[in-house]
Chains A and B, each alone.
Chain A
Amino acid sequence: MNTNSRHPISPHLQIYRLPLTALLSITHRATGVILALGAVLLIWVLASLSAGPESYAKVQPVLQHWFGQLVLFGITFSLYFHFCNGIRHLFLDVGMGFELETSDRTAKLAIVVAIILTIATWVVAAGME
């Protein structure tokens, strides 16, 4: 490649700082994969419930362990992030919110609402303990 060329070169991903909207796009995919694994976890819990109390008695301590709780917290945030950003994408699909300023604002809104929903869910859950 001619390095003296004044042509712009494509963004070098290790140097180029992704704009917030691009960061949200890749996070949407990452949380989608996390949620697919979370869905398998849900099936494991449902299957153990259907197999009877002895079977669920082996699963419940795993979920209540601090690491299990941490995983569940991560899944909760992934769920609400994917939920909020997914709704944002549905608006983009019908052609709304493409302006730079608007898409940046809705990106921040999606993150804030996801955090609020995550905390609200865990506050409700903590109230049941």
Chain B
Amino acid sequence: MSDYRTPLSRVKGLGSAKDGTSHFWHQRLTAIALIPLVLWFGFGLASLPTDYDSLTGYIQQPAIAVALILLIASVFYHAQLGIQIILEDYVSSHAKRTLMIIAVSFTCLICALIGIVAVIKILVGA
């Protein structure tokens, strides 16, 4: 027997990182969600005039606002997970790496919330 893990830890399948494959899995889930969202966003935005009334009028359609909120949430979650991997690969100092991951996580969360609140504000015309 070369496996020293307890039966409980094996059945939980969480490994040394304590969160199992959830990071990997969420990175893929957000990637899949972003496939239709990115195509819609790229071509949807390209086919709009860039003046204030056209853009706000577009976002004031509820379906567009929902898609935009989904895009913002998926993008920043995906970005946070991705940048974390890059930091884990390239920043060797444990303290520096942890601080940078925390800073990136907070920045992504704040940006996502600012974006979502902005979309809702445009939607309700406040």
Contacts and interface: CB of A to CB of B under 8 A. Distances in A.
Interface of A: 29, 32-33, 35-36, 39-40, 42-43, 46-47, 49-50, 53, 56-57, 60, 63-64, 76, 79-80, 83, 86-87, 89-90, 93, 117, 120-122, 124-125, 127-128
B46 A122 contact: yes
A86 B38 CA distance: 12
On chain B, which size bracket covers the interface?
A: 35 or more
Interface string B8-40: 000000000000000000001001101100110
Interface of B: 28, 31-32, 34-35, 38-39, 42-43, 45-52, 55-56, 59, 68, 72, 75-76, 79, 82-83, 86, 108, 111-112, 114-115, 117-119, 121-122
A29, A39, A76: most-surrounded residue (chain B CB, <10 A): A39
Contacts, number: 91
A50 B121 contact: yes
